[in-house]
């Protein structure tokens, strides 16, 4: 006994909608990850990344405003947002293949024929209104797999936008810290320059009185010009750094406002992170996984080409010699058609598509694994950087204290006639270099914490104006 159409239809629809999707379903691969970070700080604190704007811990309203300006105006972030919209449009276009496509057409015309001998010319009107529909039944899931891939690509661009946002926040913060460091080193250079100018003037007076030699005057002038050279160099670097920060803000080169000095800034807490949360928080890892999902779905779309495609078309309309006649029964026209297309010989084209998709899936898998490994390396490097720079700064602080005392004692001994001026110059030169290094390390200590927050993927909660 043949099955009835009524009994067969649910089976066909179920197969069409869900039952015959070819290709592998995605499952997150098992990736070996460390149980803990090797260089985790014992004084690290848990941070709620869902609400925290971590840079606010610097307690500098000027820095906060610069970051907000960058989020509102930066061109790279605006490009990333436009790319998200682009891929959402691609998703909509691909997903549209799952639904019937309906269109309408209205045509009309008036014509005059060639008259036959003895008859008047034939003049007539023709009006036609058509409603057309077509649908490719996604029996084997080709369009569904393509939609799955397009959706993953869309989510991947969202993650890329988040990565751009986090990198922008980090760049503005580190750029501002470097600017304050350069300001501080410029001030140290100016103070040293003023001190050495006083020494030159004093030695020239003593040289005029025959107390010191020309050699000592020349040595003092040489050190003065060395400090002057540092002033010019730092002024140039400050201008260039202001231009770099302006570019991050999406502005033309202009002066950058200053807030607290480098030593007045509050160091953010060292955040604690768990390896498992890193996989969910880092946008580059999310983007790599979405690329893997897309590549995995593309295998199914490629394999579906082996199977037949079924399409249905239909037309319903009306044709008449007058517009008013379109709505009469005799004017109606209609047609329905179905087609099945089955590839028989393609010369290896489909097999090549499948092989390409499978190779791309392997590439995406290896890229996903590599991204995870790089993420853990970034965190470990940042953690050891925080610890190392902190120790270096403490040692340099002690060195500056010792050199300050050395410079004072050597000057007293010189004034008392117990040592040469070379001793004073050596003490001043060493103190100047140590003070500049101290400023650099103060900047690096704060910048390493910024790098740690960035490598842990903090910053997702910030809303980007669009």
Alpha-helical segments (H) within 332-460: 349-415, 421-455
Separation between Cα atoms, residue 167 and residue 169, nearest integer Å: 6
For residue 60, the model assigns a pLDDT of 95
Burial class (CB in 10 A: 0-12, 13-18, 19+), 123: exposed
pLDDT at site 369 = 92
Instruction: Kindly report, residue by residue over 120-145, the tens digit of the pLDDT.
Output: 777 777 777 777 888 888 888 888 88
Residue 11 pLDDT exceeds 90: no
CA-to-CA separations, 240 to 177, 182, 237, 243, 255, in angstroms, rounded = 14, 11, 5, 5, 10
When pLDDT is cut at 50, 70 and 90, the band that residue 301 belongs to is confident
* Tens digit of each residue's pLDDT (9 = 90 or more) over 375-393: 989 989 999 999 999 999 9
DSSP character at residue 97: G
User: Does residue 459 come out as left (phi exceeding 0), alpha (psi in the -120 to 50 range) or beta?
Assistant: left
3-class SS string, 146-193: HHHHHHHHHHHHHHHHHHHHHHHHHHHHHHHHHHHHHHHHHHHHHHHH
Q: How far is Cα 321 from Cα 329, in angstroms, rounded to an integer?
A: 14
Which helix (H) or strand (E) element contains residue 278? helix 275-281
- Give the pLDDT score at 326: 56
Q: How many CB atoms lie within 10 A of CB 269?
A: 16
Tell me the C-alpha distance between 82 and 357, whole Å: 28
Grade residue 306 by pLDDT with cuts at 50, 70 and 90. confident
Phi-psi region of 159 (alpha: psi -120 to 50; beta: other; left: phi over 0): alpha
| pLDDT band at 18; cut points 50, 70, 90 | very low
Cα 463 to Cα 466: distance, rounded to the nearest angstrom = 9
**Whole-prediction pTM value?**
0.85
Q: Please tell me the predicted confidence (pLDDT) of residue 414.
A: 83
The count of other CB atoms within 10 Å of the CB of residue 382 is 22
> Of 425, 13, 7, whose CA–CA distance to 196 is shortest?
425
pLDDT at residue 456 in the model: 87
- Number of other residues whose CB lies within 10 A of the CB of residue 7: 9
pLDDT per residue as tens digits for the range 247-256: 999 999 999 9
Q: Residues 49, 283: contact at Cβ < 8 Å?
A: no
For the chain, percent of residues with pLDDT exceeding 70: 86
Q: How far is CA 397 from the centre of its chain?
A: 37
Structure confidence at residue 333 (pLDDT) = 64
* Closest to 127 measured CA to CA, from 334, 329, 325, 316: 325
Predicted pLDDT of residue 225: 93
Strands 309-320, 332-341: pairing is antiparallel
Q: Is the per-residue pLDDT at 446 higher than 80?
A: yes
Contacts of residues 39-44 at CB distance under 8 Å and 24 or more positions apart, as own/partner, are: 39/380, 39/383, 39/384, 39/387, 40/272, 40/383, 41/270, 41/272, 41/383, 41/386, 41/387, 43/270, 44/269, 44/270, 44/271, 44/272
For residue 419, what pLDDT is reported?
Answer: 84
Per residue in 167-200, pLDDT (tens digit) is 999 999 999 999 999 999 999 999 999 998 988 8
What domains are there in the chain, each with its CATH number? 22-100+138-308+350-455 (1.20.1600.10)
Indicate the range of 64-78, 337-351, 433-447 predicted with least confidence: 337-351
Average pLDDT value for residue range 52-78 = 93
pLDDT at 182: 97
Q: Quick one: pLDDT at residue 381?
A: 92
Q: In whole numbers, what is the pLDDT of the chain averaged over residues?
A: 84
- What is the model's pLDDT at position 74? 95
**What are the two backbone dihedrals, phi and then psi, of residue 236, each rounded to the nearest 5 degrees?**
-65, -45
Sorting pLDDT into bands at 50, 70 and 90, what band is 401?
Answer: very high
Give the C-alpha separation, 447 to 456, whole Å: 14
- Ranges 105-114, 177-186, 234-243: which has the least confidence: 105-114
The backbone torsions φ and ψ at residue 8, rounded to the nearest 5 degrees and listed phi first, read -80, -30
Across residues 37-54, what is the average pLDDT?
67
> Mind listing the pLDDT tens digit for each residue in 150-166?
999 999 999 999 999 99
Reference 153, options 285, 25, 293; nearest CA is 293
Output b/e per residue, 166-196; b: 16+ Cβ within 10 A: bbbbbbbbbbbbbbbbbbbbbebbbebbebb
Q: What is the pLDDT of residue 12?
A: 46
| Model pLDDT, residue 51 | 46
Q: What is the largest CA-CA distance in the chain?
A: 140
Tell me which of 170 and 345 has the higher pLDDT. 170
């Amino acid at each position: 006994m043949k099955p009835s159409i009524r009994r067969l239809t649910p089976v066909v629809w179920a197969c069409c909608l869900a039952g015959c999707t070819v290709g592998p379903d995605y499952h997150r691969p098992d990736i070996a990850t460390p149980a803990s970070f090797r260089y985790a700080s014992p004084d690290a604190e848990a941070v709620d990344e869902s609400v925290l704007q971590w840079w606010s811990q610097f307690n500098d309203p000027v820095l906060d405003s610069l970051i907000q300006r960058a989020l509102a105006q930066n061109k790279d972030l605006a490009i990333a947002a436009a790319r998200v919209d682009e891929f959402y449009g691609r998703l909509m276009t691909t997903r549209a293949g799952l639904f019937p496509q309906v269109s309408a057409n209205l045509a009309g015309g008036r014509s005059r024929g060639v008259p036959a001998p003895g008859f008047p010319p034939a003049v007539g009107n023709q009006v036609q209104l058509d409603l057309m529909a077509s649908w490719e039944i996604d029996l084997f899931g080709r369009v569904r797999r393509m939609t799955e891939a397009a959706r993953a690509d869309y989510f991947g661009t969202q993650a890329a936008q988040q990565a751009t946002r986090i990198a922008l926040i980090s760049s503005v913060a580190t750029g501002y810290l470097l600017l304050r460091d350069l300001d501080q080193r410029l001030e140290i250079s100016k103070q040293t320059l003023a001190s050495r100018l006083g020494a030159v003037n004093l030695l020239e007076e003593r040289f005029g009185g025959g107390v010191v030699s020309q050699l000592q005057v020349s040595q003092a002038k040489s050190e003065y010009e060395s400090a002057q050279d540092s002033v010019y160099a730092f002024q140039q670097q400050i201008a260039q750094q202001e231009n770099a920060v302006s570019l991050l803000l999406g502005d033309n080169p202009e002066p950058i406002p200053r807030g607290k000095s480098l030593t007045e800034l509050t160091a953010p807490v060292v955040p604690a992170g768990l390896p498992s949360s890193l996989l969910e928080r880092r946008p580059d890892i999310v983007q790599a996984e979405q690329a893997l999902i897309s590549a995995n779905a593309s295998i199914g779309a490629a394999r579906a080409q082996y199977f037949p495609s079924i399409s249905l078309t239909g037309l319903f309309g009306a044709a008449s010699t007058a517009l008013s006649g379109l709505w009469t029964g005799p004017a109606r026209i209609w047609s329905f058609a179905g087609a099945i297309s089955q590839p028989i010989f393609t010369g290896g084209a489909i097999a090549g598509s499948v092989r390409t998709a499978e190779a791309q899936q392997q590439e995406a898998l290896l890229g996903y694994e590599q991204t995870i490994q790089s993420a853990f390396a970034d965190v470990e490097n940042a953690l050891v950087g925080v610890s190392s720079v902190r120790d270096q700064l403490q040692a340099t602080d002690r060195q500056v204290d010792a050199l300050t005392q050395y410079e004072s004692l050597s000057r007293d001994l010189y004034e008392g006639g117990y040592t040469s001026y070379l001793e004073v110059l050596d003490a001043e030169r060493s103190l100047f270099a140590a003070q500049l290094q101290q400023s650099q390390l103060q900047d690096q200590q704060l910048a390493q914490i910024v790098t740690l927050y960035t490598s842990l993927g903090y910053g997702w909660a910030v809303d980007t104006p669009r």
